[in-house]
Copies of this chain bind each other. A is one copy, B any other.
Amino acid sequence: MVVRKTAIFYLIFGAAALQAQSLKSPDGKFEMNFQLKNGVPFYNLNYQGRPVVEDSKLGIRIFRDGELQFGSEIENKDNKATNLDGNFVKTDEKRDTRNETWNPVLGEKKSYVNHYNELAVTLNQASTDRHIVLKFRLFNDGLGFRYEFPEQENLNYFIIREEDSEIDLPWDAKTWWITGDYDSQEYQPQTTMLSEIPAKWATSFDGNASQTPVKNAVQTPLMLKKEGREPLYINIAEAAVINYPVSNLEVDAANFKFKTHLTPDAQGAKGYIQTPAVSPWRTIIVSPKAEEVLASKMIFNLNEPTHYADTSWIKPVKYMGVWWEMIIGKSQWAYSTAKNVHIGKTDFTKLTPNGNHAANNEKVKSYIDFAAKHGFDALLVEGWNIGWEDWFGHSKEFVFDFITPYPDFNLKMLNDYAHSKGIRLMMHHETSGSATNYERWLKPAFELMNRYGYNSLKTGYVGHIIPRGEHHYSQWTVNHYYRVAEEAAKHKIMVNSHESMRPSGQSRTYPNWIAAEAARGTEFEAFGGNNPEHQTILPFTRWMGGPMDYTPGIFQTKLDYYFPGDKRFVKTTLAKQLALYVVMYSPLQMAADLPENYARHLDAFQFIKDVALDWDDTKILAAEPGDFIHTARKTKGKDEWFVGGITDENARNFTVDFSFLPKGKTYEATVYADGDDADYISNPQSYKIYKKTVTSRSQLPMKLARSGGYAISLKPLKK
């Protein structure tokens, strides 16, 4: 004991207290410096010798005894200052380094490199006799840091008032952002200078089913660009958000500074912590090249390896769905004309059918026929279960039971029929935000899925969360999403969560949580529209933490095709829709349009049928957020490549350089391009398809229409 105390004494009053700790990235390009200033922790980050993050404060404020109605969680009986944001002395420092590769179950590459240098600083707060650890990991693509709360005599339980992790940029920057919110990310991205965010904030968002915008705050992953002669791209996000609320970033426009702002619960509490515990990682990816930001797997590296013993049942899912026709208003989720139903009491066979229920036996069979014929893995059917008559907007807790089909949906027959044709139905669990109710039905619902042979699940959380007062991104609800993923894994079910928290790389640990919506998807084209640039931004923001179920593939973009005079249209060319399957990585991809529309364009549909969902390799050929993305990927386990390119509202030219192909081999390229007269407004369905022979030395000039794109499949030519 005496010896140890002496050692600590030396560390404090000898070297440690007087100088900063420095950490370099493996390639030496990044340098992170940590120091205590008057007991308050600060860090900064330099890239190539220049500051990217200036001295930025770290700390956690916590509730004092008795301040919240849940009372005395804090062990310190003297009720002294309890915050973990100052009065620290450094008592230990540990360094580590790791260079490893790991293979994602499903991914953009066969293996990801996890290479970092680590600094862990133990900070002691003498006034409370507590210590925490600040852990920094510096990769060749950026910095991750987190708080660690070891179990100790005086730190067992506490409630977070706020995490005050700052990121102080040295300069103003172009920023692609959406409003901070506790309940929704389904917003159009805004592009302004960081300094302009507060002025633009109030008009930055439109209405949503459940939203709680946070003033002058933005969500992550946040994309920034220092413009000028030596541009720098910066991505700020979080990794491994587990048992902790999702964070927003408060904007200090005058100082180009961000600060975490956690999602509160009904009582304003921002995290109930029992030690040992860790915060999510705060991540800062930096590169002079936008392409390298897209290629970064740092967020996944900061998640833990999976603990699942068997992952062989986790497979890519290409699916169609009884869905888009309801989204556009052609048919309905609900079965009857009733306005008010009671699950467990209402006899649905006695209700008057509305005559427009999509999920009926006949229609579902026809979808199965089409999807099976074209080689899909699965068919999503929404509106199969009772309760849709009054599912939304009533804060109705017992809104669905997840096991009882509507009278016109024969669960056994339709699953048998699908299986006989070689495909599976995809289950749909819309919760209406009533998470407490969903948890009650989770086990019987999953047992039903197992009984009928479902292996994938789309969940939905449209509307306000129950427990009432909780938010989509508060700690309780975060834990709920993981609970669902883990329970699903027990039943060998893959989860595709909609209106959930955004992914933070957790698919490394929970690989059956294969995709999420958690952003503004294709459905909004029918609800108010997505800007043409939308898809060129999402991969830099929402996508950084994991795949999105964006539901591309809309061929019939103009809705007046169904409803004469309807002005709604999907702001894309048909060819761009094909390109999205390559540009927007997801192991779960929908062909979202109606079978009849694909039947009219079977030649173009061929690309959707061919495109892979899981990859050995990925090359970002060129990218600029808000402008364009061009991506090439190699199919997992096959000598086969796909290329996709998209543009924003501007027509662009791009020359595909096939140097990513192995040298000396010849491929047949099938090119799906915008027609010469294509235009997302005036002529979206103009496309051309042609074949070319290419090698690694080939170059192919492409013309992209306004909000256009192209897709290329490459198969080796037999010699």
Q: Which residues of A contact B (CB under 8 A)?
A: 69-73, 151, 156-157, 159, 210, 212, 265-267, 269, 272, 274-275, 339-340, 342, 390, 393-397, 436, 439-440, 443, 464, 467-470, 476, 479
Separation of A259 and B38 alpha carbons in the complex (Å):
57
CB-nearest residue of chain B relative to A268? B469
Given contacts A274-B342, A339-B156, contact A71 B467 (CB under 8 A): no
Q: Which residues of B contact A72 (CB under 8 A)?
A: 393
Given contacts A156-B340, A272-B394, 11 further A-B contacts (CB under 8 A): A69-B464, A70-B464, A71-B210, A71-B393, A73-B393, A151-B340, A157-B394, A267-B468, A272-B397, A274-B342, A436-B439
Q: Please determine whether A212 and B340 come into contact, CB atoms closer than 8 angstroms.
A: no
Q: Please determine whether B468 and A266 come into contact, CB atoms closer than 8 angstroms.
A: yes
Chain B CB within 10 Å, residue with most, of A269, A443, A467, A479: A467
Q: Please determine whether B70 and A468 come into contact, CB atoms closer than 8 angstroms.
A: yes
Q: Please determine whether B274 and A394 come into contact, CB atoms closer than 8 angstroms.
A: yes
Q: Which residues of B contact A470 (CB under 8 A)?
A: 467
Q: Please determine whether B71 and A274 come into contact, CB atoms closer than 8 angstroms.
A: no
Chain B CB within 10 Å, residue with most, of A151, A157, A390: A157
Given contacts A269-B468, A468-B266, A476-B467, contact A157 B396 (CB under 8 A): yes
Chain B CB within 10 Å, residue with most, of A69, A73, A342: A69
Separation of A159 and B342 alpha carbons in the complex (Å):
17
CB distance from A41 to the nearest CB of B (A): 25
**A73 contacts which of B70, B275, B394, B479 (Cβ < 8 Å)?**
B394
Q: Please determine whether B212 and A69 come into contact, CB atoms closer than 8 angstroms.
A: yes
Copies held by the complex:
2
CB-nearest residue of chain B relative to A159? B395
CB-nearest residue of chain B relative to A209? B71
Q: Which residues of B contact A272 (CB under 8 A)?
A: 394-397
Q: Which residues of B contact A397 (CB under 8 A)?
A: 272, 476, 479
Given contacts A272-B397, A396-B274, contact A390 B156 (CB under 8 A): yes
CB distance from A85 to the nearest CB of B (A): 22
CB-nearest residue of chain B relative to A153? B339
CB distance from A407 to the nearest CB of B (A): 21
Separation of A436 and B265 alpha carbons in the complex (Å):
15
**A274 contacts which of B151, B269, B340 (Cβ < 8 Å)?**
B340
Q: Provide a sorted-by-A list of 20 A–B residue pairs whose CB atoms are within 8 angstroms.
A: A69-B469, A71-B395, A73-B393, A266-B267, A266-B467, A267-B469, A269-B468, A272-B394, A272-B396, A272-B397, A274-B342, A274-B394, A274-B396, A275-B340, A397-B479, A436-B439, A436-B467, A443-B443, A467-B467, A468-B476
CB distance from A114 to the nearest CB of B (A): 25
Q: Which residues of B contact A69 (CB under 8 A)?
A: 212, 464, 469
CB-nearest residue of chain B relative to A469? B266
Chain B CB within 10 Å, residue with most, of A71, A210, A269, A395: A395
Separation of A156 and B339 alpha carbons in the complex (Å):
8
Q: Which residues of B contact A468 (CB under 8 A)?
A: 70, 265-267, 269, 467, 476
Q: Which residues of B contact A443 (CB under 8 A)?
A: 443
CB distance from A514 to the nearest CB of B (A): 24
Separation of A395 and B73 alpha carbons in the complex (Å):
7
The 3 closest A-B pairs by CB, nearest first: A467-B467, A266-B266, A266-B469
Q: Which residues of B contact A340 (CB under 8 A)?
A: 151, 156-157, 274-275
